[in-house]
Every structure is written in structure tokens, then in C-alpha cells.
């Protein structure tokens, strides 16, 4: 009996479990918002794969999910390495027998620090690293899972952009540019994969307090985001997980190529 079969049995009594029997890979799932996505998808019945560069964090997340009765597996993954991503897909198939959902969450942002500098002071090496992780990583991860999704004639790919790509944000042009690329990537991939019944959508978070142990300046920066919102409070990871769960679920089966902005009403269009 595969873990997929075991999980079907485990969640038999969860009538509200939209993702029962589904297998979800979340890149960068060992920390912050990625970990919140993993917990929410698991709570809705999905078997989750924590594809994470930080092996220690991924293993801890796996243990925590399992202690709550969920099916989870940590796989050490480097999203800029095609071989690592192919291994991620292969190990997922070996363990669970299918791949239904990919959340392209891994990015240089808070866990991997980035400089906040004027555009002409950013080092070329940092620009290249940002594009490699935030853009190429999403492309390579999608490329690794789509052969299986095409064979299944079903799948959900959920990309993570940022509200900054829609508004602009000074002093981090490399990050904003990478997240703007994800908007076009989502629409183009949706066109290409539509014939295979694969949905590709995007979530664009606002300024979110995702750091585990933020310092006072980080908290102040995140709290300041409330001033620009219709909903006057700090955004947290829990505010984002419903959108990802929706795009992962059958409720979004006829939605593709779309970006859902989850920022409390900072950007409206």
C-alpha cells in the first residue's frame, strides 16, 4: 500500500477535505509563508512534500505535520538545479504515486536576505541570483512536474508573485522585477498547459509579516503596510493560505492564468 492509499483511508471521515488524496509539492516550505501553505494544504487532506533547501527546517516541518496526523515528506531541493528538481519529482512519485499540485513559493526574500538599495547600487551577482531563484526556479520546478501532470491530464500549478510587481517598490528593483516576471510566466504557462487540463494561477501577497523572529525594524516596516490598505492591519501568512488552497482545489477548476492579489486592499484593479 502506497502512502497515497494510506492517506485516503486516514482522511475518510473528513467530509470537508477538498484535497483528500491529492499530492502537493511546496517549494521553500521549511519556513514562513511556505510552511503556512504546507500546513493549510495538509489540513485540507493533501499529502504534502516540503521541497526545501534548508534540510534541517524541512525535516522539522515534516515531523510537526506528521505529529498532527498528516502525510508529509521533506525532500532537500535546490530550485536552481534541474537534477535536484527531477529527483524531487521522482521521489514524490515513488512515495505517493502522483503529483497534483505545485506551489512555486521558493524565493530570495526574507529567509535568504536581499539588499534594499537603489537600482544602480545592486551587485550584478545579487541580481543574477534573484532571477535564478525567483524566476528560473519556478520554471524548472514546473518543468519537473508537468510530465506527470500531463500524463494524468490534471494538475494545479500555483505561482507566488508579489503586490510590489503591480505597484512598484523602491530600493529592491531586482526582487520586484523577478516577481513581475512571474505574472507573465503564469499567463503563458496557463496557455501552454490548458490543453492538458492543468490550471496555472498566481497569488500576489502584500507586505506580510512572515519572519519567525523579526526585529523591531522589521515589525515596524510590516506594520506600516497597514497604512496603505483598506483593511487597516498587518498581513500575516494565515491571510494568504486560503487563496492557495482555493487554487489547489476543485473549486478553481475553470480558472487559469489569473492572479489573485491578497493584500488587504492596498492595490485595487
Boundaries of every domain in the chain: 19-205+240-262
* pLDDT at residue 109, rounded to an integer: 73
Encode the chain in three state secondary structure.
Answer: CCHHHHHHHHCCCCCCCCCCCCEEEEECCCCHHHHHHHHHHHHCCCEEEEEECCHHHHHHHHHHHHHCCCCEEEEECCCCCHHHHHHHHHHHHHHHCCCCEEEECCCCCCCCCCCCCCHHHCCHHHHHHHHHHHHHHHHHHHHHHHHHHHHHCCEEEEEECCCHHHHCCCCCHHHHHHHHHHHHHHHHHHHHHHHHCEEEEEEEECCECCCCCCCHHHHHHHHHHHHHCCCCCCECHHHCHHHHHHHHCHHHCCCCCCEEEECCCCCCC
More reliable by pLDDT, 212 or 127: 127
Q: Kindly report the CATH number that applies to the domain delimited by 19-205+240-262.
A: 3.40.50.720
* pLDDT at residue 123, rounded to an integer: 92
The pTM score is: 0.89
Place 169 in a pLDDT band, splitting at 50, 70 and 90: confident
Task: Tell me which of 8-12, 100-104, 133-137, 153-157 is least confident.
Answer: 8-12
Q: Averaged over 115-134, what is the pLDDT?
A: 89
Task: Tell me which of 104-108, 124-128, 148-152, 230-234 is least confident.
Answer: 230-234
* pLDDT at residue 2, rounded to an integer: 46
- Is 70 noted as a catalytic residue in this protein? no
Q: Is the pLDDT of residue 3 over 50?
A: no
Q: Is the pLDDT of residue 220 over 70?
A: no
| Alpha-carbon distance values, 187 to 154, 159, 262 (Å) | 17, 10, 18
- Are 156 and 100 spatial neighbours (Cβ–Cβ below 8 Å)? yes
* pLDDT at residue 139, rounded to an integer: 98
Q: Is the pLDDT of residue 67 over 60?
A: yes
Catalytic residue of the set 37, 70, 175, 247: 175
* Averaged pLDDT score across all residues of the chain: 89
* pLDDT at residue 221, rounded to an integer: 60
Amino acid at each position: 500500500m502506497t502512502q497515497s492509499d494510506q492517506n485516503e483511508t486516514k482522511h475518510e471521515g473528513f467530509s470537508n477535505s477538498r484535497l483528500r488524496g491529492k499530492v502537493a509539492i511546496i517549494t521553500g516550505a521549511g519556513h514562513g509563508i511556505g510552511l503556512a501553505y504546507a500546513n493549510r494544504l495538509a489540513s485540507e487532506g493533501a499529502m504534502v512534500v516540503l521541497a526545501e533547501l534548508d534540510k534541517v527546517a524541512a525535516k522539522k516541518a515534516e515531523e510537526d505535520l506528521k505529529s498532527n496526523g498528516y502525510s508529509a515528506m521533506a525532500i532537500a531541493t535546490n530550485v536552481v538545479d534541474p537534477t535536484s528538481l527531477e529527483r524531487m519529482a521522482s521521489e514524490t512519485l515513488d512515495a505517493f504515486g502522483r503529483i497534483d499540485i505545485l506551489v512555486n513559493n521558493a524565493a530570495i526574500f526574507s529567509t535568504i536576505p536581499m539588499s534594499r538599495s537603489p537600482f544602480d547600487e545592486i551587485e550584478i551577482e545579487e541580481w543574477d541570483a534573484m532571477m535564478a531563484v525567483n524566476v528560473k526556479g519556478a520554471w524548472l520546478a514546473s518543468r519537473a512536474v508537468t510530465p506527470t501532470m500531463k500524463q494524468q491530464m490534471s494538475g494545479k500549478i500555483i505561482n507566488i508573485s508579489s503586490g510590489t510587481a503591480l505597484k512598484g517598490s523602491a530600493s529592491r528593483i531586482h526582487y520586484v522585477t523577478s516577481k513581475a516576471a512571474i505574472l507573465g510566466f503564469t499567463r503563458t504557462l496557463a496557455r501552454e498547459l490548458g490543453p492538458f487540463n492543468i490550471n496555472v494561477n498566481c497569488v500576489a501577497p502584500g507586505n506580510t509579516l512572515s519572519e519567525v523572529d523579526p526585529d523591531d525594524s522589521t515589525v515596524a516596516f510590516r506594520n506600516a503596510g497597514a497604512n496603505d490598505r483598506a483593511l487597516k492591519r498587518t498581513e500575516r501568512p494565515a491571510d494568504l493560505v486560503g487563496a492557495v488552497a482555493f487554487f489547489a482545489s476543485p473549486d478553481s477548476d475553470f480558472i487559469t492564468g489569473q492572479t489573485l492579489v491578497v493584500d488587504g486592499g492596498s492595490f485595487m484593479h
